[in-house]
Amino acid sequence: MSPPSQGWDWFDTDRSGAEAQPSTAAGEAELATVFARCFLSADGRQVLGHLRRLTVERALGPQASEALMRYVEGQRQMVLYVEALVAKGTGGPHNRKRET
């Protein structure tokens, strides 16, 4: 049995226990290209638009708990991250078609 992790150390390893490796610029560019190919198809734009409406464009009322606000903010960040990768994979935000 392995010793317990200290603090946030567990965040730096994957499930196999291997240390996380920093990504290279080439690897990030390739990932952005893959995201662009996936989400710039008609189906991909529809999915991303749906995710955006569910998260980024969602307004919470005054009764929303702090836990709900944190949860939704995490979802928003994920959708914005995907959109940023798509934009990077197409050469920038100005080249990207956005569904409204």
Q: How far is CA 20 from CA 17, 66, 79, in A?
A: 9, 31, 23
The model carries a pTM of: 0.66
Q: What are phi and psi of 13, to 5 degrees?
A: -125, 150
Q: Domain extents for the chain? A: 23-95
| pLDDT tens digits, 41-54 | 999 999 999 999 99
For residues 3 and 67, give the distance between their C-alpha atoms in angstroms, rounded to a whole number.
31
Band the pLDDT of 2: cuts 50, 70, 90: low
